Amino acid sequence: MTAQHVSATPSTRPTKIAIVGAGSVGASVAYAAMLRGSAQTIALYDLAAEKAEAEALDIAHGSQFGSGATVIGGGDITCVAGADVVVITAGARQKPGQSRLDLAGINVKILRSLMPQLLEQAPEAMFMLVTNPCDVLTVAAQQITGLDSSRVFSSGTVLDSSRLKFLISKKIGVNPRSVHARIIGEHGDSEFAVWSNANIGGIPLREWRGADGTLAFTEADLDAVRDEVANSAYAIIQGKGATNLAIGVSAARICEAIINDEKAVLTVSTVLDDYRGVSGVAMSVPSVVGRGGVERVLNIPLDERETLLFRASAGQLSAIQEELGLELE
């Protein structure tokens, strides 16, 4: 089923985002992309054709109040054809109390069937994994497709970093866009904040003082903020069954960086090659994202504690990959 609203401008290259999986996350990515005008065409594909058609139609009915993008959806994989970015949200849903890594086995099996079909339909696309555990699945998807790591990546800790900025801004009363801080490592339990170079308006976060002159954050406060970020998804899943809205916006934002060749620095997750001694696992670090996908991985400064946390996070991911037979040669 197709609902058309505006044709591509003749003088510009047509742009398209394909979203695989019409569940709560996939529909949220499509909805956010439509509202933000992330691409001229948004395609929503799912084996449950009726669900995909209904979600696409629901979004399309409101597109005149958003970007006016063309929205299509259904159970025919050809709707993915020619996409600039393919966003993969299909997979088993994370249950309350379930670790992201517990989901790995079943979702790797899904990718083994899915990735070759997607690559056939969109041979030039960038492939972004949103399905959890996204780091492990990024390794699997790269192995299955044989594509360069620049073209197969996950949304990583882009949302986690947004959560971090939100919590910091709430604590000190500034706009989150003025907070420069990030979460790196696994998108999951072993992720951590890089406090050593976090700042607000050039002032190191650890030196930020309130109106009364006292330091805004003790080390205990910083640990509590990190823990709240890491546990945010579990709290939301407990309350409403899934996290979908914020990840929808985050995924749309990453797509825009690719389609518009923004060279934006985002904490996406790619398979690393001797990054601070870590290879063969996908982890989130600040990276330059543009038309070529993940075009450059930035080697940011870490203090001694952060370096240890990074290697520990890599070790956890490496262990689960070995159990799944995803060791890179």
Question: What residues does each domain of the chain span?
Answer: 16-154, 157-324
Q: Was 273 annotated as part of a binding site?
A: no
Residue 197 structure tokens? 């170079």
Give the residue from 242, 308, 249 showing the smallest Cα distance to 278.
308
Which CATH architecture fits 16-154? 3-Layer(aba) Sandwich (3.40)
- Is the sign of the CA dihedral 143, 146, 148, 154 positive or negative? negative
Q: Which of 16, 151, 182, 187 is catalytic?
A: 187
Count of residues making up the chain: 329
DSSP 22: -
Alpha helix segments (H runs only) across the chain: 24-36, 49-61, 104-121, 134-145, 158-172, 219-240, 245-259, 304-324
Q: What is the pLDDT of residue 324?
A: 87
Q: What is the pLDDT of residue 126?
A: 98
Q: Do domains 16-154 and 157-324 have the same CATH topology?
A: no
Residue 220 structure tokens? 């205990």
Q: Name which CATH class applies to 157-324.
A: alpha beta
Geometric angle at alpha carbon 241, from 236 and 246, rounded to 5°: 50
CB 266 within 8 A of CB 286: yes
Q: Was 94 annotated as part of a binding site?
A: yes
Q: Was 79 annotated as part of a binding site?
A: no
What residues contact 309, with CB distance under 8 A and at least 6 apart?
185, 190, 192
Q: Was 155 annotated as part of a binding site?
A: yes
Q: Was 180 annotated as part of a binding site?
A: yes
Q: What is the pLDDT of residue 7?
A: 37
Q: What is the pLDDT of residue 5?
A: 40
Give the residue from 192, 172, 195 showing the smallest Cα distance to 184.
192
**Amino acid at residue number 210:** G
Known active-site residue 5? no
C-alpha–C-alpha distance, residues 161 and 266, integer Å: 9
> Model pTM?
0.92
pLDDT 10s per residue in the chain (329 long)?
A: 444 443 333 447 899 999 999 999 999 999 999 999 999 999 999 999 999 999 999 999 999 999 999 999 999 999 999 999 999 999 887 667 766 566 788 899 999 999 999 999 999 999 999 998 999 999 999 999 999 999 999 999 999 999 999 999 999 999 999 999 999 999 988 999 999 999 999 999 999 999 999 999 999 999 999 999 989 988 998 999 889 999 999 999 999 999 999 999 999 999 999 999 999 999 999 999 999 999 999 999 999 999 999 999 999 999 989 888 886 54
Give 299-315 as a DSSP string: -----HHHHHHHHHHHH
